[in-house]
Amino acid sequence: MGAWTLDDIPWHSFDRGRLDPELVRIVKAASLVEHNGGAYAHHLCLIFADDPEFQETARRWGEEETQHGVALARWAALADPDFDFAAAFARFREGFRVNFDCDRSRRGSRSGEMVARCVVEIGTSSYYSALRDAAEEPVLREICRRIAADELRHYRLFYQNLDRYLARERLGRWGRLRVALGRVAESEDDELAYAYYAANAADLPYDRRRYSRAYARRAFALYRPQHVERGVAMLLKAIGLTPNGRLGLLLSRLAWHVMQARASRLAKTAA
């Protein structure tokens, strides 16, 4: 298990007066995605079948991701007593299916798999840091603070294993960049949109474009330049480039600009 448990969360400090209903909706969606972490840990154990040490790490990681889901779901149920996590999670699993029983990495190599895992942890550590800084409700802030710290630790963990595999496999900077960009592009795929739908709009038919926007509109609004800057530095490090040099500064400004433009476009949609 991780470094904390649900008993470490000060649930009694929950303050309904500081709730932001927009955040409640994205927290519900996040609880479903996080809770699915165990399924990906199973997939990692198949890919790394001959690496028992990493398998152990992956199992522990999966448990921590699941705990993130449990903590977020418990908070969401406090915020909205009508939230039925079990039913929402069942809908999510039913509608968003990925073959986790496969023993080959979609990234083409084990190092590539580690790069993709780093990208996901960069995304989650930035996201929960941004959510922590945007939230006013104290229990949500505390949950996000703990989750963001875990996600950063997960990044370091996959990065260490990336280093280990790079000593055996040849995956240069271009190869790593290709995997990283591919994984970043996948963040636009169905997972988050479907989680948002399954958690918030079960009575309506699924409309990918609509729910993808509904989720992104709320998520993009949370970020501040420091979250983007840190994420870009972590990404550069994972692909083997200097994280804090001029390139990092340039890219984080560019990324911030692109995100701002996207956030303001999305803000005009009422999804």
Residues 90-129 as x/- pattern, contact with Fe ion by CB under 5 A: -------------------------------x--------
- Considering the complex, what minimum distance in angstroms separates the CB of residue 114 from Fe ion? 13
Interface with Fe ion (CB under 5 A), residue from 151, 157, 159, 239: 151
- Considering the complex, what minimum distance in angstroms separates the CB of residue 179 from Fe ion? 18
Interface with Fe ion (CB under 5 A), residue from 24, 31, 57, 65: 65
Please answer whether residues 151 and 128 qualify as being in contact, where contact means their C-beta atoms are separated by less than 8 angstroms.
yes
**The two structure tokens encoding residue 36:** 């699915």
Residues 146-172, buried b or exposed e (16+ Cβ, 10 A)? Answer: bbbbbbbebbebbbebbeebbeeeebe
| Residues contacting 193, CB < 8 A, separation 6+ | 208, 211, 212, 214, 215
Q: Which is nearer to Fe ion, 34 or 137 (CB)?
A: 34
Question: Does 154 help bind Fe ion (rule: CB under 5 A)?
Answer: yes
Location of structure tokens 């963990």: 157
Question: Does 176 help bind Fe ion (rule: CB under 5 A)?
Answer: no
Judged by CB under 5 A, which stretch of 24-32, 42-50, 63-71, 137-145 contacts Fe ion? 63-71
Q: Which is nearer to Fe ion, 2 or 175 (CB)?
A: 2
Q: Which is nearer to Fe ion, 65 or 137 (CB)?
A: 65
**The two structure tokens encoding residue 106:** 């979609």
Residue with CB nearest Fe ion?
Answer: 154
Q: Which is nearer to Fe ion, 28 or 154 (CB)?
A: 154
Please answer whether residues 183 and 116 qualify as being in contact, where contact means their C-beta atoms are separated by less than 8 angstroms.
yes
Question: Does 191 help bind Fe ion (rule: CB under 5 A)?
Answer: no
Q: Which is nearer to Fe ion, 137 or 151 (CB)?
A: 151
Indicate left, alpha or beta for 204 from its phi (over 0: left) and psi (-120 to 50: alpha): beta
Q: How many CB atoms lie within 10 A of CB 195?
A: 28
Interface with Fe ion (CB under 5 A), residue from 68, 176, 183, 217: 68
CA distance 37 to 58: 10
Element spanning 108, H or E: none
Judged by CB under 5 A, which stretch of 14-22, 100-108, 148-156, 164-172 contacts Fe ion? 148-156
- Considering the complex, what minimum distance in angstroms separates the CB of residue 213 from Fe ion? 23
Q: Which is nearer to Fe ion, 121 or 137 (CB)?
A: 121
**The two structure tokens encoding residue 27:** 């927290």
- Considering the complex, what minimum distance in angstroms separates the CB of residue 188 from Fe ion? 19
CA distance 10 to 5: 11
| Residues contacting 112, CB < 8 A, separation 6+ | 105, 171, 175, 176, 179
Please give the size of the binding site for Fe ion, defined by CB under 5 A: 6
Q: Which residues bind Fe ion (CB under 5 A)?
A: 34, 65, 68, 121, 151, 154
